[in-house]
Structure 1
Amino acid sequence: MFNCIFNLFNFNQHFINVFFLIFILLFNAVNPVVNKIRNIYEGTSNIEVIGNDVFFEILDPPDLKYTYRVRPAKDFGVPFSQINELRNVQLVLVHPKYGCGIPENADEVEGNVAFVQRGYCSFKMKTVYAEKVGARAIIITDEHQDHDDYFIGMIDDMDSQDVNIPSAYLIGKNGAMIRKTLEKLDRNYAIINLPVNLTFTPIHKISQPPWLQWS
């Protein structure tokens, strides 16, 4: 009788040990996935979500006071990490809006961030002209409905001219809303900070434009 009880106890103990081992293996397999989800939606880092993209925030006018995501040019210009944060600078609508020559409002662009529309010349050429009139950076967008909801990779056009300011692409929905709102308010610029560091800000705490949800 005593031997039976002892054998039963050993069997149960062995079963518990095996169960505990399986539990540990499953926990170790699942835990990285759980941590990744937590980091994206609740945790401390968005680095896997934003990749190489950068962000800027509009401070004024209030109708545009949100945080916007832009994608830097791939192989021309300087990285945003190499410039000081541009605080309380103007994001200026360039005239003509395509920025394929010296702007008519070059004095307004000087010392600020140029805002131009895609088309009629290369991304790099727009950046070259913005730099020539003293822009500190340039944001390019495409407001055409066929291209207004995704990012476009801006690549070098093999022109020999050097570019020494950062350049970034803003999706068209945001670009169209910025231009439309500024024109409605009869003003030619918004006040922005560029770039802003959101590495340790959870996605759900970023003030996203209500007309656009980041994926």
Structure 2
Amino acid sequence: MAKADRTTALVLYVWSVFMHVSRLSGHGINELLYFRVISPEDIGYIFSAAPAKDFGGEFTASYDEIFLVPADPADGCSELQDREIIQGQVILVERGSCSFVQKARHVEEAGGKAVLIADNAVDNDSQYLDMITDGSTTKPSIPALFLLGRDGMMIRRSLQRKALPWAVISIPVNVSSLASFPLKQPPWTLW
């Protein structure tokens, strides 16, 4: 196959993935943020997350290796434990029991750089929720992202099985620069 044909085929394939993601989630590919799990290897995939709509900040730097630390308590609705581990890391919390803003605020107060809020519907592998403010006047400034429930559950399950306190991730990942982007998706997620 000629180089021009391969390039055309790749562009068409990426466009079809974009259209599929747009139909499933209601978000365009530019509205999602991507991160890669580096370790543990059994979940070494590229995951997508939807940024909060009207609160939280944006990533001002790219982190090639940063910890993704599960929150304690898991729902992030009260003061977080293990602040020395949380400091300067990305924190994984579960949806439910309090607002998205409260979760992000607790993570920010504990020193987290960003929060990934995984849906508590663990069978959710395609529907992103719009995270919006709860009406409070104090809004967190750290990035807040919504993670599909199945992705969050699989990450937590892997860490629990291996008795690991965190995963190592790279965030954000520019998927347009990865030739194998569609091949690195979690096998349980419909793309």
Report the counterpart of residue 3 of structure 1 in structure 2.
Answer: none
- The CA distance in 1 between the partners of 2:176 and 2:142, in whole Å, is 23
Which of 40, 48, 68 is the matching residue for 2:47? 68
1:41 is aligned to 2:13: yes
**Partner AA of 1:168 in structure 2:** L
Q: Please identify runs of 4+ aligned residues in structure 1 that moved more than 2 A.
A: 35-40, 45-49, 143-149, 199-206
Give 1:98's aligned amino acid.
Answer: D
Q: CA deviation at 1:117?
A: 0.2
Q: Cα distance, 1:126 vs. partner? A: 0.4
Q: Which of 129, 137, 155 matches 1:178?
A: 155
For residues 64-94 of structure 1, the C-alpha deviation after alignment (integer angstroms, 9 at most, x for no partner) is 11100000000001123xx101221100011
> Tell me, which stretches of 5 or more residues in structure 2 are unaligned?
1-6, 23-27
**Deviation digits for residues 131-173 of structure 1, max 9, x if unmatched?**
0111000000123246454111100111111311101011011
Name the TM-score, length of structure 1 as normaliser.
0.74
Choose 1 or 2 for highest CA Rg.
1
CA distance in 1, matches of 2:135, 2:12: 38
The reply to whether residue 50 of structure 1 matches residue 34 of structure 2 is no
Q: How far apart, CA to CA, are the structure 2 residues paired with 1:154 and 1:63?
A: 29
Does the 8 Å CA contact 1:114/1:135 hold for their aligned counterparts? yes
8 Å Cα contact 1:41-1:203 kept in structure 2: no
Which residue of structure 2 aligns with residue 141 of structure 1? 118
**RMSD over aligned Cα, in angstroms?**
2.5
2:143 alignment partner in structure 1: 166
Cα pair 2:53 2:132 within 8 Å, conserved: yes
Between 1:88-97 and 1:205-214, the stretch displaced more is: 205-214
TM-score (norm 2): 0.83
Distance 1:146 1:200 in 2: 30
Alignment of 1:71-110 (within 5 A): 71-80=50-59, 83-110=60-87
SS of corresponding position for 1:178: helix
- Conserved 8 A contact 2:96-2:120: no
**Cα deviation, residue 202, structure 1:** 5.6
- In the other structure, the counterpart of 1:155 is 132
Percent identity over the alignment?
32
SS state of the match for residue 115, structure 1? Answer: strand
Unaligned 5+ segments in structure 1 are 1-34
CA 106–194 in structure 1, closer or farther in 2 if over 3 Å, else same: same
SS at match of 1:76: coil
Greater helix percent: which structure?
A: 1
SS in 1 for 2:116: strand
Letter in 2 for 1:72: P
Matches for 1:23-42 after TM superposition, within 5 Å? 39-41=11-13
